[in-house]
Chains A and B, each alone.
Chain A
Amino acid sequence: MSKKESGAQWLLLTAVFVIATCGLIYELVAGTLASYLLGDSITQFSTIIGVYLFSMGIGSFLSKYFNQNLLAWFIRIELLVGLVGGFSSALLFIVFPLAASFRLILYAIVLITGVLVGLEIPLLMRILEKKVAFKELVSRVFTFDYIGALLASLIFPLLLVPHLGLIRTSLFFGILNVGVGWYLAHHFSKEIRQVVLLKTAAITLLLTQLVCFVFSESIMSYSETMTYDDNVVYSTSTPYQRIVITKNKHELRLFLNGNLQFSTADEYRYHEALVHPTFSSLDQPEQVLVLGGGDGLAVREILKYPSVKQVTLVDLDPAMTKLFSRQEMLVRLNDSSLLNSKVHVHNADAFTWLRSNKTLFAAIVVDFPDPSNFSIGKLYSTSFYQLLKRALRPDGIAVIQSTSPYVAPKSFWCVDTTLRSVGLHTIAYHNYVPSFGEWGYIMATPEEPHRWFSHLPAPLKFLNPTTLQQMLTFPEDMKAHQLLDINKLNNQALVKYFEEEWGKYLEH
């Protein structure tokens, strides 16, 4: 074997090493991205690895149809892998909020990358077959292949994701891939026809990817992540809503249709205020109903009362309750409340469910989104509250999250007026939740209970007997100062107040 031959051999083996690293990186990028965006990392990783390996099989199979100009083909494929793999995560991030069939695009990219990577090794072995003994060849090629894989699997979680992020990681390896292609073309330029074309293509690609690498931040901004201050760690579109979870160093935030539902930094303020005034005024509550609140955080507070025998949680969206009973971070947050044997989750429409309900509850916690449209407005109507009253024991209490009495006093007191119009007694109160601002709640009872706020469970992070009393006082700027309409299905007065008040507030 001549020195030149040997040099060529080592060059090609280095290429194997780089290719193997790149190949695995693309696979890891796809898997991570899918778990980020779609959730359920086990399914995502296992299907992506499966599809990827299978596609490599297809690539290997197809390699027998390449009979001439093997080296040129190898370089072309190299460039293609660089192109597809390098841009894969940028493309997926951009496409995710736009495309209906995101999975299809994801798996298509995995498939194409897999097929191309699958073509590389067989082609390379055939290029080298006349230069190296078969025994040696197999040994060397696969050694480099597997070393590359090990390297990739180590640097990906330790170096690349934390420092480069997904978009730049895949671009970086795209650049490497294309770089190898270009160098091979350069090195073997005498053996390849139309080498200029190949080199030009390689350089164009290299430059494009470099530019993208530099401006990757702005690519991210095209994708939805820019709407949120922090990193989107999870997002999904269900038939009912768009669920997005963001994370920074200090807190996790949940958004439904772009509206903040809670931040882990201060959600205890909201959920303690939502649950405890009601429960501390009840005598040994047993049957409890939660409407909405699929995050399980209100349930977490409810389960602090040992007398509670059963919590029925009715939330429209199975994706929501599934997420909060499976995702580790979130399950930790709600103290596994949705997995508690006392808790029964029904994924049903609250209005429809309540209409057919026959059970009487000691407490009902109503945690719906704000009445920002006519559809949700129905859940704050006289018709709904009549059903609520019917589902309450005479000595029971319902509590309703009722938007901000500071931003939307008319809306807040309209809920109060509506509850009173169906013959319920009400007690309105509010507290300060930094993420939301001043927030309001209304307790409603068929009969006034004897002992308001008699026994708070310990320990709570926000509430104590003194704060409980303070929450009952409303300053002048949180009062309606006018007679308000009752919210009915056929006037939707609340939605109109809400639009007017929040509209004005958000204009600032």
Chain B
Amino acid sequence: MRRRSFIQSIAGLTVVSSVIASCHRQRVIGGSVIGANFHTGHLLRDKKFAAPVSTTEHAVVIVGGGISGLSAARYLHRQGVRDIVILDLEKEMGGNAACGKNDISAYPWGAHYVPIPNNDLTEYTDFMRECGVITSDAAAPLPAYNDYYICFDPEERLYINGQWQEGLIPQFGVPASEKAQIQQFLDKMQAFRLAKGQDGKDAFTIPLDHSSKDPAFTQLDSLTMKQWLQQQGLTSPYLQWYVNYCTRDDYGTTYDEISAWVGIHYFASRKGKGSNAEHHDVLTWPEGNGWLAAHLKQELQPYFHNEALVARIQQENDTLAVDYFDVKESRLKRIIAQQCILAVPQFVAARILQDEARLQKVHQHIQYSPWMVANIRTKELKERSGPPLSWDNVIYNSPSLGYVEATHQEIRQGIHRRNLTYYLPLTAHTPAEGRKAALERTHAEWVKLIVEDLEKVHSNITDAIEEVNVMIWGHAMAKPLPGIAHGTIRQELAASVNDRLHFAHTDLAGNSIFEEAFYQGLSAAKKVMTHLSGNI
């Protein structure tokens, strides 16, 4: 080897290694954007369907396999009804309780916990007992909750003023005057939690419709949460951030939009108590509410018909003609049904029913908030000072809601790689603009946005991330705007059509939580039972 060529090859090596290094720096983080099937979904809006190619008959058709639909099907099944079909656009039933799995753990794509149930929700607590969440029998004075499902400690932490603190209520670096306001606010919420109306009912409870109609409370539905805070003189920016965080977290709605009544409901409606759990405890699983959905689904498998887009439902004599587009076969098919439950959001229901008046009403009154949820697969992360990695990890003043750690409920030692589920309600624009902007964003742009947010708390996030998968929920949930909870619109939209067609969805419940969906399904199913006849 000549000296020159020796030097050249050394130089070559240097070039190669610096190229490798620079690739590393700007490495492309893998993963993809998964939409809750909006392409197929939009066919309903945009496509003209031909005549169906086949016809079958069933006693009950349930459109939508989210929690409402599954809960309805489960009730009917328990009542002995077997001639059921559940149609859903997605490959898996579960709706907002969707989940995924990789080599580390399962993880949620949407809703990821439920609070300790209120003790008077008998059907719901029975369900909880069936899936082993409640371990004591129904006669026990207080239900005992399965310790493995109550969120482990450390539960929540907030990154604020340069370090992590325990819990999400701002504490670290908060001036005394603001702390006093925060305490005032919490005291007011506690009073609302215990309050009863003139009618003797709880002022705030679950399901929302069981709450008192006492105007002393319902009048709060005519103003926004922010207005109410102003009225109360609760002007602390830290408090306002916290309240806004909570309303965004549960409803994808900012506090200057949400009804004050629903905003307070979030803080005041939880009254559950167990022998080993309090109302502020939550139940969670690696796959989030997908775990509960799986239990709902257990005995319903034979009824499932996935990748089925319901295109229209028409009255035909004494029956309903349900036409659906079979995505796999790319053909339109018809089911003749006695009874039908539309367990889909109202904007979809209106299109399926080809009911222009309903569609107008929905557009006028209901807004659906878009969300982005990302699942981040990562190696060990560097930490700022303060409490260690918790279940829920929130960054003060971030547009995101922070992330939830999916392996938190695992008992094994030596977990070094993790799944972080990152939540971002797209509240910066109007919902329509938000949806459009979200669908136009590339994977790389989402990753950049996430990394920039999380870099504040984990300096090595770029190197630690193995993969990011992004899910866009175009219409994640109906916003509980003023006038929805205690106005008339929900009743108008929820009224059954000709005793054959019933509605069940959380946009009719007033807020989007698991219990509401569960009871939406139950009450629709009960209506179906009163009208069913013949071979079921």
In the complex, which residue of chain A has the Cβ closest to the Cβ of B412?
A: A349
Which residues of B sit under 8 angstroms from A381, Cβ to Cβ? 147
Contact call A382/B147, Cβ cutoff below 8 A: yes
- Chain A contact patch, size range: 20 to 34
**Least CB separation from B282: chain A residue:** A490
Give A154 to B218 CA distance when docked, in angstroms: 94
Surface stretch bound by A, among B150-158, B225-233, B357-365: B150-158
Contact A490 B151 (CB under 8 A): yes
Known: A66-B1, A373-B388, A384-B411. 4 other contacts (CB 8 A): A62-B1, A65-B2, A489-B150, A490-B152
CB pairs A–B below 8 angstroms (20 shown): A239-B414, A240-B413, A240-B414, A349-B411, A349-B412, A351-B411, A352-B411, A352-B412, A374-B153, A375-B413, A375-B414, A383-B411, A489-B148, A489-B152, A489-B153, A490-B151, A490-B153, A490-B155, A492-B152, A492-B153
C-alpha gap A493/B246 in the complex (Å) = 27
> In A378-400, which residues have CB < 8 Å from any B CB?
378-379, 381-384
0 or 1 for each of B147-182: is its CB under 8 Å from A? (1 = yes): 110111111000000000000000000000000000
B150 touches which of A316, A490, A492 (Cβ 8 Å): A490
Is there an interface contact between B415 and A375, defined as CB atoms closer than 8 Å? Answer: yes
Q: Within 8 Å of chain A (Cβ to Cβ): is B416? A: yes
- Interchain nearest-CB distance for B114 vs A (Å): 15
Smallest CB gap from A488: residue in B? B147
| A residues in contact with B202, CB < 8 Å | none
- Asked if A376 CB lies within 8 Å of chain B CBs, one says yes
Give the CA-CA distance A373 to B387 in the complex, in Å: 11
Within the assembled complex, what's the spacing in Å between the Cα atoms of A352 and B151? 18
CA distance A349 to B155 in the complex (A): 23
| Separation of A382 and B415 alpha carbons in the complex (Å) | 21
Within 8 A of A (CB), among B77-128: none
Asked if A231 is at the interface (CB within 8 A of a chain B CB), the reply is no
A180 to B281, CA, bound (A): 76
Cα distance, A352 to B409, chains bound together (Å):
12
Whole-angstrom CA separation of A425 from B152 in the bound complex:
26
Are A490 and B1 in contact, with the CB atoms below 8 A? Answer: no
Residue-by-residue, is B404-430 near A (CB-CB < 8 Å gives 1, otherwise 0)?
000000011111100000000000000
* A residues 300-325 in Cβ contact with B at 8 Å: 316
Taking residues whose C-beta sits less than 8 angstroms from the other chain, chain B's interface range is 20 to 34
Q: Is the CB of A316 within 8 A of B414?
A: yes
Query: Beta-carbon contacts of B36-74 to A below 8 Å, as 1s and 0s?
Result: 000000000000000000000000000000000000000
Could you tell me the distance between the alpha carbons of A376 and B411 in the complex, rounded to whole angstroms? 9
Tell me which residues across on chain B come within 8 A of A316, comparing CB atoms.
413-414
Which residues of B are found within 8 Å of A349, using beta-carbon distances? Answer: 411-414
- CB neighbors of B among A339-384 (8 A): 349-352, 355, 373-376, 378-379, 381-384
Q: Which of A470-506 contact B (CB under 8 A)?
A: 488-492
A residues near B1, Cβ cutoff 8 Å? 62, 65-66
Q: Of all chain B residues, which has the CB nearest A353?
A: B412
Residue from B154, B281, B414 within 8 A of A374 (CB atoms): B154
Q: How far is the CA of A61 from the CA of B152 in the complex (A)?
A: 63
Shortest beta-carbon contacts, A-B, top 10: A492-B153, A349-B412, A65-B1, A351-B411, A240-B414, A490-B150, A383-B147, A489-B152, A352-B412, A491-B153
Distance in Å: Cβ of B382 to nearest Cβ of chain A: 15
B414 x A378 contact (CB < 8 A)? no
Instruction: Among B2, B147, B412, point to the contact of A489 (Cβ < 8 A).
Output: B147
Which residues of A sit under 8 angstroms from B411, Cβ to Cβ? 349, 351-352, 355, 378, 383-384, 489
**List of A residues within 8 angstroms of B277 by Cβ:** 490
Q: A352 — which chain B residues lie within 8 A by C-beta?
A: 411-412
Q: A129-165: which have CB < 8 Å to B?
A: none
Distance between B279 CB and nearest chain A CB, rounded to angstroms: 14
The complex places the Cα of A489 from the Cα of B150 at a distance, in Å, of 8
Smallest CB–CB gap between B428 and chain A, Å?
35
Q: Which residues of B contact A66 (CB under 8 A)?
A: 1
In the complex, chain A residues 207-256 whose Cβ is within 8 Å of any chain B Cβ: 239-240
Residue of A nearest to B151 (CB): A490
**CB within 8 A of B416: which of A239, A374, A488, A490?**
A239
- A382 CB, nearest partner CB in chain B, Å: 7
In the bound complex, how far is the Cα of B152 from the Cα of A352, in angstroms? 16
Minimum CB–CB distance for A315 against chain B, Å: 11
Is the beta-carbon distance between B154 and A492 smaller than 8 angstroms? Answer: yes
Complex CA–CA separation, A489 to B148 (angstroms): 8
Q: How far is the CA of A381 from the CA of B416 in the complex (A)?
A: 22
Measured CB to CB, the closest approach of chain A to B409, in angstroms, equals 9
CA distance in complex: A477, B281 (Å): 36
When chains A and B are docked, how far (Å) is the Cα of A50 from the Cα of B223?
80
| A residues near B154, Cβ cutoff 8 Å | 374, 492
Q: Mark B127-149, 1 if CB is under 8 A from A, else 0.
A: 00000000000000000000110
How distant is the Cα of A373 from the Cα of B414 in the complex, in angstroms?
12
Min CB distance A431 to B, Å, is: 28
Chain A residue nearest in CB terms to B409: A489
List, in ascending order, chain B residues with CB within 8 A of A355's CB: 411
Interface residues as binary, A45-86 with B (CB distance below 8 Å gives 1, 0 otherwise): 000000000000000001001100000000000000000000
CB of B364, distance to nearest CB on chain A (Å): 45
